[in-house]
Amino acid sequence: MRVRGAVCFAVGTKWSIEELELDEPREGEVLVRVEASGLCHSDDHVLTGDLAFALPMIGGHEGAGVVVRTGPGVHRVAAGDHVCTAFIPGCGLCDYCSRGMQYLCDRGAGMDQGLMLDQTARFHLSDGTGIGALCRLGTFADHVVIREEQCIKVPETIPFELACLVSCGVATGWGSAVNAARVRPGQVVMVVGIGGVGANVLQGAAAAGAAHVIAVDPNEWKHALARELGATETYHSIADARPLVDRLTNGQGVDACIVTVGRVDGDVIGEAFGTVGKAGTCVVTSVGQNTPGVAISPQDLTNYAKSLQGVMFGNCNPTRDIPHLISLYEQGLLKLDELVTRRYRLGELNDAYADMHAGKNIRGVLVHEHAGSGAS
Ligand SMILES: NC(=O)c1ccc[n+]([C@@H]2O[C@H](COP(=O)([O-])OP(=O)(O)OC[C@H]3O[C@@H](n4cnc5c(N)ncnc54)[C@H](O)[C@@H]3O)[C@@H](O)[C@H]2O)c1
Ligand SMILES: [Zn+2]
Ligand SMILES: [Zn+2]
């Protein structure tokens, strides 16, 4: 079938809106009509080269839509189901899935190539060339063919533009606080970078019972929203927040500092690590593959028994955690509506990412146009 989608052809360029040919789903695969896709910073890393992915590639991984039809041998979902996309599959059988670590599922290997498990492409350019899809998803296309283990069924009552956010930014942020930092009641937590991910670290830290959730972001307008989402104090930089940290912790440092800036580098990690007190944890959620090494004090690491913790997908198990997070939303315990700053059409994708870089969005959401959907 013919679809429209956004392709990155080369590092340093912009998203190119293309007509593409999409193959039928094969064994274990599902055709999904994508309704909405959150505009996560990770897609932008492909354009900048901060994530070294095979190009050309269709962007988008924070998606939600409707199952149109399934290939042979699909058991997890059926036509008509509402789903959101898991950017790491949970096969359920590999060593990591078996140990409750779906975020490290062995089937995540090869995501940077974007080809299906049989190493073929489902998307083709107009000249017939097969191209990969980000995380084997490519939700910047209005339809995708994806693995069944990357489809997470969601209730029909949740709007697509909210369901899509749960599939990356919400799960990643919430899990960075709850699973990776293991925030406990009464702790002092700092969150550095309040975008679509950091906003949900605030929610996770507050729900876990942190006494102080200190939000750091240079964009002043985000501070009021940060407070709505659970921040107790807001600052423009880590350095600005230091006097408060010293006062709250008797000069010891925070229990957890979680880094969710748009593009991480060694300096930010070093500064965040330096803000953490004895037995505390510095969690690095941000991506910045091509950045120079991290400068941390090995003495602090050892003598103060500190931890430096990476986190993938919020260290979540998507088959359990995505429905769980949606149920928290339904119970009024998780805010999602507040996360959507602006909606965009496919043709506005580059404007949307310019807005993200300008710090104008918590999350922009791409809303796909479909015949008969009433979209204009
Ligand atoms: N580990 C994972 O599984 C995972 C998943 C999703 C996203 N990510 C990564 O998380 C990061 C955040 O993603 P996002 O979509 O929320 O990005 P975003 O661009 O929406 O938000 C980043 C925020 O950080 C702020 N910021 C930048 N530099 C800062 C600094 N030095 N101090 C304080 N604030 C600063 C920006 O003003 C912005 O508000 C990205 O690197 C993204 O690739 C990782
Ligand atoms: Zn993402
Ligand atoms: Zn697995």
The 10s digit of each residue's pLDDT in 28-82 is 999 999 999 999 999 999 999 998 899 999 999 999 999 999 999 999 999 999 9
pLDDT at res. 374: 45
The 10s digit of each residue's pLDDT in 153-197 is 999 999 999 999 999 999 999 999 999 999 999 999 999 999 999
The single residue of 8, 37, 41, 42 carrying the catalytic annotation is 42
pLDDT at res. 290: 65
| Site residues for ligand 1, CB cut-off 6 Å | 40-42, 45, 168-169, 172, 192-198, 216-219, 260-264, 268, 285-287, 311-313, 356, 359
Report the separation in Å between the CA atom of 322 and the middle of ligand 1, taken as the mean of its atom positions: 21
- Do 108 and 226 lie in one domain? The reply is no
Domain membership of residue 132 as a residue range? 2-153+336-367
Tell me, yes or no, if 151 is annotated catalytic: no
Report the separation in Å between the CA atom of 106 and the middle of ligand 1, taken as the mean of its atom positions: 26
Q: Which atom of ligand 1 is nearest to the CA of 357?
A: 19
pTM of the entire predicted model:
0.97
* Domain annotation covers residue 196: yes
Ligand nearest to the CA of 353: 1
* 373 confidence band (pLDDT: 50, 70, 90): low
The 10s digit of each residue's pLDDT in 93-114 is 999 999 999 999 999 998 889 9
Report the separation in Å between the CA atom of 41 and the middle of ligand 2, taken as the mean of its atom positions: 6
Structural domain ending residue among the three candidates 297, 312, 327: 312
Q: Which atom of ligand 1 is nearest to the CA of 41?
A: 15
pLDDT at res. 209: 98
Please, which residues have CB within 8 angstroms of residue 197's CB and are 6 or more apart in sequence?
Answer: 40, 41, 169, 172, 173, 176, 260, 285, 286
- Do 16 and 114 lie in one domain? The reply is yes
The single residue of 8, 41, 45, 368 carrying the catalytic annotation is 45
Looking at residue 229, which CATH number applies to its domain?
3.40.50.720
* Domain annotation covers residue 372: no
Mean pLDDT (whole number) for 292-303: 87
Q: Which residue type is seen at 353?
A: Y
Nearest CA to ligand 1 atom 10: 286
Among 10-19, 233-242, 367-376, the minimum mean pLDDT is found in 367-376
- Do 255 and 284 lie in one domain? The reply is yes
Ligand nearest to the CA of 95: 3
Q: Which atom of ligand 1 is nearest to the CA of 216?
A: 33
pLDDT at res. 33: 98
| For residue 22, pLDDT beyond 50 | yes
Report the separation in Å between the CA atom of 108 and the middle of ligand 1, taken as the mean of its atom positions: 22
Looking at residue 32, which CATH number applies to its domain?
3.90.180.10
pLDDT at res. 375: 40
- Do 130 and 181 lie in one domain? The reply is no
* Domain annotation covers residue 317: no
* Domain annotation covers residue 166: no
* 376 confidence band (pLDDT: 50, 70, 90): very low
pLDDT at res. 371: 82
Tell me, yes or no, if 42 is annotated catalytic: yes
* Domain annotation covers residue 50: yes
* 292 confidence band (pLDDT: 50, 70, 90): confident
Tell me, yes or no, if 98 is annotated catalytic: no
Q: Which of 37, 39, 41 to mutate to test the pocket of ligand 1 (most atoms within 8 A of CB)?
A: 41
The 10s digit of each residue's pLDDT in 203-233 is 999 999 999 999 999 999 999 999 999 999 9
* Domain annotation covers residue 375: no
* Domain annotation covers residue 188: yes
Mean pLDDT, the chain, integer = 96
Q: 140-155 burial, b if ≥16 CB within 10 A, otherwise e? A: bbbbbbbbbbbbbbbe
- Do 202 and 237 lie in one domain? The reply is yes
Report the separation in Å between the CA atom of 51 and the middle of ligand 1, taken as the mean of its atom positions: 14
- Do 255 and 347 lie in one domain? The reply is no
The 10s digit of each residue's pLDDT in 234-284 is 999 999 999 999 999 999 999 999 999 999 988 999 999 999 999 999 999
- Do 8 and 52 lie in one domain? The reply is yes
Mean pLDDT (whole number) for 107-132: 95
- Do 178 and 143 lie in one domain? The reply is no
